[in-house]
Chains A and B, each alone.
Chain A
Amino acid sequence: KQEVTQIPAALSVPEGENLVLNCSFTDSAIYNLQWFRQDPGKGLTSLLLIQSSQREQTSGRLNASLDKSSGRSTLYIAASQPGDSATYLCAVTLNTGNQFYFGTGTSLTVIP
């Protein structure tokens, strides 16, 4: 069974700092990995999708990397802003299935 863990559970940084969120998964036979953002009381917003054959994806100030063999992904946020404050979730899909296995989430607070 796939287990997805995110560290840290909570992170607080001053505005302007670069930061890294971590995601690890136990079964490396993944089809893809997706990073989401969830704002309080809101749904999930897709940030980046990495296929298993890819090493990284970039969108604006966000960069996600994937190391399938070690079961890890990171989400790098450059020059953080207060508007980045949210919970960040990673989710993986296995080669053998079609559901997302979600991580436990990292709650990010960017202090102005």
Chain B
Amino acid sequence: DTAVSQTPKYLVTQMGNDKSIKCEQNLGHDTMYWYKQDSKKFLKIMFSYNNKELIINETVPNRFSPKSPDKAHLNLHINSLELGDSAVYFCASSRGQRNTEAFFGQGTRLTVV
């Protein structure tokens, strides 16, 4: 069983479109995250949710909106996609707000053309 799963794995879309990336974890964790990995492979936090509540919202354009319908899911919706949004997006989870061991999904490679 995959602990943290993201869909889709690859996403190619045109500028201006709206797209969503889904994330689910079956570990029973309370905290979930979205990270962005840029072309230089640097990982940076975007959002963090604990028990469906937003904890961290880094400096991310408001075109990015996370949605947590329950604590096992944290989806990422992106409006009006731009070329600079092209990156790999990783979902992760950990047991609590104070990071214990974190588990990452396989990543979603988003390419905006």
Q: A residues touching B (Cβ–Cβ < 8 Å)?
A: 31-32, 34, 36, 38, 41-46, 49, 87, 89, 91, 93, 97-100, 102, 104-105
Contacts and interface: CB of A to CB of B under 8 A. Distances in A.
Interface SS, A side: strand
Given A36-B104, A98-B97, 12 more contacts: A32-B100, A34-B102, A43-B105, A43-B106, A45-B104, A46-B101, A93-B99, A98-B55, A98-B98, A99-B45, A99-B48, A100-B35
Instruction: Bin chain B's interface residue count.
Output: 20 to 34
B64 interface: no
Contacts of B42: 102, 104-105
B41 to A, nearest CB: 6
Given A98-B31, A98-B48, A98-B97, A46 B102 contact: yes
26 contacts: A31-B99, A32-B100, A34-B99, A34-B101, A34-B102, A36-B104, A38-B41, A42-B106, A42-B107, A43-B105, A43-B106, A43-B107, A44-B90, A44-B92, A44-B104, A46-B101, A46-B103, A87-B41, A89-B43, A91-B102, A97-B56, A98-B48, A99-B48, A100-B99, A102-B43, A102-B44
A95 B44 CA distance: 18
Pick the 3 closest A-B CB pairs, nearest first.
Answer: A44-B104, A102-B43, A43-B106
Nearest to A95: B98
Interface string B8-47: 0000000000000000000000010101000001111100
A86 to B, nearest CB: 12
